[in-house]
Amino acid sequence: MAAPAETTKVVPLTCHGHSRPVTHIHFSAVVDDDQYYLISACKDNNPMLRDGMTGDWIGTFIGHKGAVWQARLSQDATLAATGSADFTAKVWDTHTGETLHTLQHSHIVRSIAFPPQARPQILATGGAEKKLRIFDLSRSDSSPATGTSTPPAANGGTVVPSNGSTTAPSFEIGPGVHQGTIRNVVWTPDSNVLVTASEDQMLRWWDLRTRAPVGEYKLDGTVGSCEIDPSPLTESAQGSLSVAAGKSVYFFDAGRPATLIKQIKTDYEVASVALHGASRKFVTGTVGDTWVRVWDFDEGKEKEMGKGHHGPIWACTFSPDGKLYATGSEDGTVKLWKFTNGPYGLWR
């Protein structure tokens, strides 16, 4: 059901704590008792874990020595993964806060992705190496990698940092294919197929079984965001792949490589997009202003504008139940915006 305009214009919840621009945000799936979680990546080096419904801080993962460009949670929220300018990706235990793996790269890691599994055993990474790499988290190399962490304990307490993190073996898919930094990696509903979006303005679909591309699409501009939205736009779709690039937003069938459902051109340089398939609405953040915009998918027209941020909105995403969406901004804050009828969470 579409959320009427008056319910989405309530004051958003503001999540403070970061000291520099927020670069990426990601929700877990719904876990126990309708609970879900939110992780934010930031240029202050310190990704944060929060209650997804209220925005309450749970903990901060300490250990990166450079800006964190992307952060994701596994579906069951037991694992977190982060990619950083310190040339590493890290995998964390969200219950203890320990660094489970420190995955060394030769350049900045811009993107990371878990497959759609409860406790995944592999992780995909991409970045300025121009390499799509798959790490096997079930196996550890013999030599431990250094890394420290402060557990995101529910009570905010501090546990003695751990130095026992380990790396993991990896292999590359499609050597030499990417001609630019891989800015996004996302897994489709099929755990054998994932998508890369790179600065060569190409989307590529990869099959892990053959390690070869199974689809390509040329974008009109440099990609901003590229995310899977679980709610489908058509009866046959398994969800949607939503992409912001240049002044356009693109929506693909998540289960059919390179199958474009719709491209909508805007007057703005779009930095981020997120789709709410059930209401046939989507939200965008733009490079040149501080407003989040709500659009009608079928009409391709802007319907609402949310004000409150003080910098461009680099990331936006809907909660797994679709009742709110989150935005992450240059201003160092994450905001939660209600997107449902009646009371929800702290909106009473």
What is the tens place of the pLDDT at every residue in 213-226? 999 999 999 999 99
What number of residues does the chain have?
348
Of the candidates 9, 113, 108, 96, the residue with the CA atom closest to the CA atom of residue 49: 96
Of the candidates 307, 304, 347, 341, the residue with the CA atom closest to the CA atom of residue 322: 341
Question: What rounded mean pLDDT belongs to the chain?
Answer: 89
Return the SS3 of 5.
Answer: helix
User: Residue 156's pLDDT band (boundaries 50, 70, 90)?
Assistant: very low
Residue 183 near residue 197, CB atoms below 8 Å:
yes
- Res. 154: pLDDT tops 80: no
DSSP state letters, 123-139: EEEEETT--EEEEETTS
Of the candidates 13, 101, 105, the residue with the CA atom closest to the CA atom of residue 54: 13
Q: At residue 151, what is the residue type?
A: P
Architecture in CATH for domain 221-341 = 7 Propeller (2.130)
Average pLDDT over residues 65-92: 97
pLDDT score, position 118: 81
pLDDT, one tens digit per residue, over 311-348 is: 999 999 999 999 999 999 999 999 999 999 899 999 98
Would the CATH topology of 16-218 be identical to that of 221-341? yes
HSE-up (13 A, CA, CB side) for residue 266? 29
What Å distances lie between residue 288 and 197, 266, 293, 306, CA to CA?
22, 13, 13, 15
Determine the Cα–Cα distance for residues 219 and 251; give it in Å rounded to an integer: 12
- Res. 288: pLDDT tops 70: yes
In this structure, how many other beta carbons lie within 10 angstroms of the beta carbon of residue 243? 26
pLDDT score, position 14: 96
pLDDT, one tens digit per residue, over 301-312 is: 999 999 999 999
User: Residue 161's pLDDT band (boundaries 50, 70, 90)?
Assistant: very low
Determine the Cα–Cα distance for residues 273 and 47; give it in Å rounded to an integer: 21
pLDDT score, position 237: 65
CATH code of the region 16-218: 2.130.10.10
Domain ranges of the chain: 16-218, 221-341
Share of the chain above pLDDT 70, in %: 89
Average pLDDT over residues 105-123: 94
Determine the Cα–Cα distance for residues 138 and 140; give it in Å rounded to an integer: 7
- Res. 88: pLDDT tops 80: yes
DSSP state of 198: E
pLDDT score, position 283: 97
The position carrying tokens 């121009």 is 130
pLDDT, one tens digit per residue, over 139-150 is: 865 443 333 333
Determine the Cα–Cα distance for residues 182 and 128; give it in Å rounded to an integer: 6
